[in-house]
Structure 1
């Protein structure tokens, strides 16, 4: 359960950085950090989330859903 909470928090942080970059782009402020800083952080944390999910799947902390193709296959006689 803690793994899922961490993933959701990281995704919320990604959205936060995306909206900060949007605010800088729309407002046109040149002072402070550039928009590319926040977009770069968004990409970095997206990669972190992807690696985190893959590692959690491989270590067995979370399980993937089964394929609906295999689960619903019926054999008619």
Structure 2
């Protein structure tokens, strides 16, 4: 539960730095450049991603299973196979020349 609180707090701080960058962009006499806040946002997003991956590997976070990997389709053959031919005409019987 603590890991989720940390992740949410970091994501809220990412949003805060995004709005600070917007205010720095709108002000003409800003002391801190907009790129400073945007750089912080990118670094925080990378930290959040790393925390999520490490927490998942450590077993602290469990994700929902994907329906693609958990679904297995079972094939049941209910018909009997039969030999098919492209020729639908009945084949004439072949007689041997030596047959009486």
Q: TM-score, normalised by structure 2?
A: 0.68
Map 1:1-77 to 2 at 5 A: 1-30=1-30, 32-75=31-74, 77=76
Q: Which of 1 and 2 has greater Rg?
A: 2
Secondary structure in 2 aligned to 1:51?
Answer: helix
- Matches of 2:10 and 2:38 in 1, distance apart? 15
**RMSD (Å) for aligned C-alpha atoms:** 1.4
Task: Provide Cα deviations, 1:7-46, integer angstroms capped at 9, x if missing partner.
Answer: 000000000000000011122223x211111101001111
Q: TM-score, normalised by structure 1?
A: 0.86
Is there any run of 5+ residues in structure 2 with no aligned partner, and where?
Answer: 77-100
Greater length-normalized contact order (CA 8 Å, ≥ 6 residues apart): 1
